[in-house]
Structure 1
Amino acid sequence: MTLSKESQTFLDNLRIYLFASNKKEDEVNELMEELEDHLYEAEQNGKNVEHIIGKSPKAYMKEIEAEVETDGRFWLIFVPLILLNAFAYLIMNKAIADERDYSMLALIGNPLVFIVTILLLFGMYRFIAANKLSKKVTVMLYIVMGFAPTAMFTGILVADLFIETPMLTISPAMNIAVIIAACIIFIAAALYWKAWISVIVPAVLYIPQVILHFININEQSKLIIILSIIILFSLSLIIWQLRLLKKDN
């Protein structure tokens, strides 16, 4: 079945809106299938989206949002796993370099930035999906959303330089435990999302650092080697994705 561009755009926006509203995936999929059938039948009779929903798309989305059950796993599993995964990236570099001092400002501030970023991102998705925005405005929102977390993380780094907060110093054994815990988090994320890229990326980033740590070369050479590995991996990933896209087409 082929829908008009208007109907397909409405369905896509509705799915994004419900996803950003943390609704159960099974119920959303069932709803989308039913609505797609109704839209197709309406279009065969010369009707459009408004004839089916009987109101503005934004009002209809809010009505559906109230009817579809909220997925409690979002805050119980999804968000904590994102926070743990992101936090593992933040501490892994320090742990590998055997830097064992952590400021309380960074330990508290960084997770808060992740939570705020998630809330802002989902809020942006809901706003874009429910409102007819120009391409220029949409692009600007994505640009602002891209810079917002960077600005917040930078703010924490700068504040950490000028504001004295209590420091947490861990033992060498605890530092090893941090590395092991980070590895477990990467694996758990890969198993939950069924995407081994969650393990491959940190492996590419950190295994060379561990190996180079035991090789007697200067820091500049180590940096060049690590950057070369990251660039080669990124190019390989892009080529792989392009081949998959070409195969699908």
Structure 2
Amino acid sequence: MIPFLSAWPPSPANPTLPADELHVWVASLNRSQTQLNQFWQHLSEDERARANRFYFDHDREHYIVARGLLRQLLGNYLQLPAHLIAFAYGEHGKPELAAEQATSGVRFNISHAQGVALLAFSRNREVGVDIEQVRPLDDGEQIAERFFSENEVAVFTAVPPEQKPQAFFNCWTRKEAFIKVIGEGLSCPLDSFDVTLKPGEPADLLQVKGSREAAARWRLENLEPANGYAGAVIAEGREWQLRTWQWPA
């Protein structure tokens, strides 16, 4: 079981999603067979087919839990059975609610890594979230030089060696969250915008394609969802309250 940080409280029984709030949930994807069976019941036929295409059991099980939990949380917000949630997909594969459910204004995004998932929800504002396990990388410097912006590379190079893993994944999760919120996938170069990355420094989107004004329409927040993990969430606008919860074990 993943050791969650105590700063993330247990989830409320019946949360609502006001327009001025952004909700992020952290959950372990390592579940009992009973729970797996329950999440399986939430899935559509195409989701079950995709689950069955995974070669490794743990990958299949993590997909079932992540997708089933997404449906369950959306069902709670929309007051619908989880299996009735319908999805549509953008040009670059970003999922969203389909048909009449989209009129609710509920937006969402999900990310998972090494058995831990983050699920973010908002209303009438785009949202992106990312999580990674913090670990040393032998080729971290090379990856940074290839994908980070010139300013980010300079900051990363100056970080003390013992802080480099955290700095690297601070930058990576913040960049991935932005790529996901704009829905452009890999068509948006990672070095076309700047984020902060120093450990202990507030998360911020500094500029987008040289424009501070373009960056100002977004608010980026650092997340510490579990011991040894880095996370980030970003959403449109700046006047919203972030609320974080832990899904029950």
Larger of the two Rg values belongs to structure: 1
Per the TM superposition, whether the score is higher than 0.5 is no
Range of TM-score over shorter length: under 0.3
Q: Which has the higher helix share?
A: 1
Q: Which has the higher strand share?
A: 2
